[in-house]
Chains A and B, each alone.
Chain A
Amino acid sequence: MIRIITSGLYTTLQDGGRFGYRSQGVPLSGPMDRRSAALANRLLGNDENATLLEFTATGPTLLFEQAARISITGGIFEPQVNGSDVPMNRVLAIAPGSQLTFSRPLKGWRGYIGIAGGFKSEMVLGSTSFYRGITSQLKLEKGGQLQFDPTAKVRLPDQQSETAIATHLDSHILEAYKGPEFQQLPQSVQQKLTSLPFTTHASSNRMAYVFDTSEMIRADGIITAPVQPGTVQLTPSGRLHLLMRDAQTTGGYARVLQLTENSMDILAQKRPGTEVSIKIVDPPFDIRV
């Protein structure tokens, strides 16, 4: 068992996501930076979708009551065990009674803690990912506990090289496909979308990253239509909503772009006030029916 001494700013458990319920209006959820989350699990020999801990901006302080094998990936939060630096992106053996702490992020915005065998948590509609109204917990709370199987062994230790890992933390270019309403935008707006730098807004969260475009560009609303993680909406008031893992399943704003999966991982590591730009790429096949 692990005691949550402090919870961090917004710390949740996530697995691969809640698939199969979108037609009931249930969002997918899952890790914001899937690449880092998959790495945390892969290092431990877990299934890539095993339940792990995601934290944002501020890491939690965790007291391990039992020995555990863990991995830490994602943003650079300088993890320490009992006050001594420990490396990221490799398997760590944690002794009983140890306390895990984090600094403010030097780079990136979200961190992941994987544990051998995955964290144990309530499974609702096929997933452990926290979501309001679905799981009983919305986020981890100070004084709470995390459960895991202390007998779970690390399988197939993967000697992933650290340099190959963190490259997406430095990228500031988001690649996107043209969305269903892209062609309806005036040429000037299309051009601004892919040439202007945009700044991530403080209200960004697991549902969406928001970019304020200062009303340089805008688009009329649409009849409510499907949206998914990665959909980029342009609102009548000139905001871009880049929908993330907890996005609703339908929306009434123009769907001007669709981010690639890689670009969602890049964006998930951006703190408020970061400048990014968007580049249009061709889809891997012609998807028009």
Chain B
Amino acid sequence: MEWPAVIDPSQQHEILRAASFIMDHYPKRVQEVQPTYHSLAIYLRTGCDVPGLVRNINEEMPNWIKSDSRSGHLVTLPVCYAEEFGWDLRELAASKGISIEEVVRRHTAPEYNVHFLGFLPGFPYLGGLDPSLATNRRSSPRPRIAKGSVGIGGSQTGVYPSESPGGWHIIGRTPLELFDPHRDPSTMINAGDRLKFEPISQSEFDLIEIEIKAGTYQWKRELL
């Protein structure tokens, strides 16, 4: 299903309502869905009557997705913006003519929209980066970005849930596990949530890592 090719929070809510409508109403015909900025992929089960499903969706869904119901959590993600973790922080601040502290202030100020997850297991596509922080991707990607790294690429910001190659400018790191296939649920940040970055010191980072290992760390999540 396609929507106008724009990145828009209210359109995003409509797409997520369509996603849950389809998963709730046609479980025998639909295996899973993947929402993105302006389209929703609907993956079908073998033997699905496609024209019949399309007819059902067209007839049954339009009014429902216009409602303004929404669900989700406000998630607060602790991030250490020390230069040990924020490899490109100094260079990015210099290129903007502002201090490192100001980069951190502008990055932690917004409540970001979690549009959807993709790219890597648990990777959140976020909307709401302060335009003054937008920076073109690095000309040559790094072969290894550390797990938990927080980066800026173009007008997007995000968190690498696992070690991976990547071309974004790295400005900090979270000690939290965004994706753990052995945890239920595997992802603590989901499409439709709002996300806030909270600056922490290196010693707080170390402490949280210990708490995670001990299984005592509690994520900061509240219902919207």
Contacts and interface: CB of A to CB of B under 8 A. Distances in A.
Contacts of A20: 31-32
B34 A134 contact: no
Nearest to B120: A25
A24 to B, nearest CB: 5
A223 B34 contact: no
A23 B119 contact: no
Interface residues of A, number: 28
Contact of B125 (A22, A124, A125, A224): A224
Contact of B36 (A125, A132, A226, A285): A226
A289 interface: yes
B41 A226 contact: yes
B95 to A, nearest CB: 23
A248 B118 contact: yes
Contact of A24 (B38, B41, B121): B121
Nearest to B36: A225
B121 A23 contact: no
B150 to A, nearest CB: 17
B223 interface: no
Interface stretch (B51-59, B68-76, B84-92): B51-59
Category for how many chain B residues contact A: 35 or more
A134 B181 contact: yes
Contacts of A132: 162
Interface string A220-261: 001111101000000000000000000011100000000000
A22 B116 CA distance: 11
Given A133-B121, A228-B41, A285-B50, A23 B32 contact: yes
B48 to A, nearest CB: 11
B120 A223 contact: no
A5 B57 CA distance: 54
A224 to B, nearest CB: 6
Contacts of A276: none
Q: Quick one: which of A19, A20, A26, A228 has the most chain B CB within 10 A?
A: A26
Contact of A19 (B32, B38, B181): B32
A19 B31 contact: yes
B104 interface: no
Contact of B5 (A27, A134, A223): A223
Tell me the interface secondary structure of chain A in the complex. Answer: loop
B36 A24 contact: no
B87 to A, nearest CB: 21
Contact of A23 (B5, B58, B191): B191
Interface in B116-161: 116-123, 125, 161
B151 to A, nearest CB: 15
A226 B38 CA distance: 10
Contacts of A23: 19, 32-35, 116-117, 191
B58 A22 contact: no
A123 to B, nearest CB: 11
B43 A228 contact: yes
A245 to B, nearest CB: 14
B224 interface: no
A22 B186 contact: no
A124 B122 CA distance: 15
B122 A225 contact: no
B118 A224 contact: yes
Contacts of A124: 181-182
A285 B52 CA distance: 12
B5 to A, nearest CB: 6
Nearest to A248: B119
A225 B7 CA distance: 11
Contacts of A289: 1, 54, 57-58
Interface in B159-199: 161-162, 179, 181-182, 186-187, 190-191
A223 B4 CA distance: 11
B113 to A, nearest CB: 14
A106 interface: no
Nearest to A125: B181
B99 interface: no
Q: 5 nearest interchain CB pairs?
A: A250-B118, A226-B41, A133-B162, A25-B117, A226-B34
Given A21-B186, A22-B43, A25-B120, 5 more contacts: A133-B121, A222-B5, A228-B41, A248-B118, A248-B119
